[in-house]
Amino acid sequence: MRAVRTNGVRLGMLRKFVALPGQEQRLYCSATFWLLSVKAGLYLLPFSRINGWLTRLAHLNTQPAQGRKPQTVVRAIERISRALPRWRITCLPQAMVGYLLLRRQGFDVCLKIGVCKDAREQLTAHAWLEYQGRVLLGDLDEINQFIPVFMR
């Protein structure tokens, strides 16, 4: 039996969303809005403009959210990105949105963008988030091969 789809969204996903507590529903809605906005913005505008807006919006909350873990935000971003395959939400918008949402919740994360050469000697780039010296979002087996060229 196949899952029923409505405009590209599986009903099972909708049921799971409705079953979430209100706070998590708001997180998923916020993450969806920002992922789609940043993805569209990166397509339409220069990186410097999107980065400037991100800097202004991602002010660090001095009081971390009580009881909330950064992994909750990361999980929401990763799930939404997988649920919207046609949008191809890659590491850069994921890391940018993670930076925005986590800083607003009081987590002092670091956004990094790095480059390296792949097995075919082609230049490749990757974006990730670090928190307390560990990769929080965008971890890869070969992440140590990437040389950071941008850090925020």
pLDDT greater than 80 at residue 26: yes
Closest by Cα among 106, 107, 102, 112 to 76: 102
pLDDT for 1: 46
Average pLDDT, the chain: 89
Lowest mean pLDDT, pick from 1-10, 44-53, 85-94, 120-129? 1-10
The C-alpha atoms of residue 107 and residue 60 are separated, in whole angstroms, by 7
Bigger pLDDT: 7 vs 138: 138
Q: What is the pLDDT of residue 78?
A: 97
**Is residue 73 scored above 50 in pLDDT?**
yes
pLDDT for residue 92 is more than 90: yes
What mean pLDDT comes out for the span 129-140? 95
pTM equals 0.87
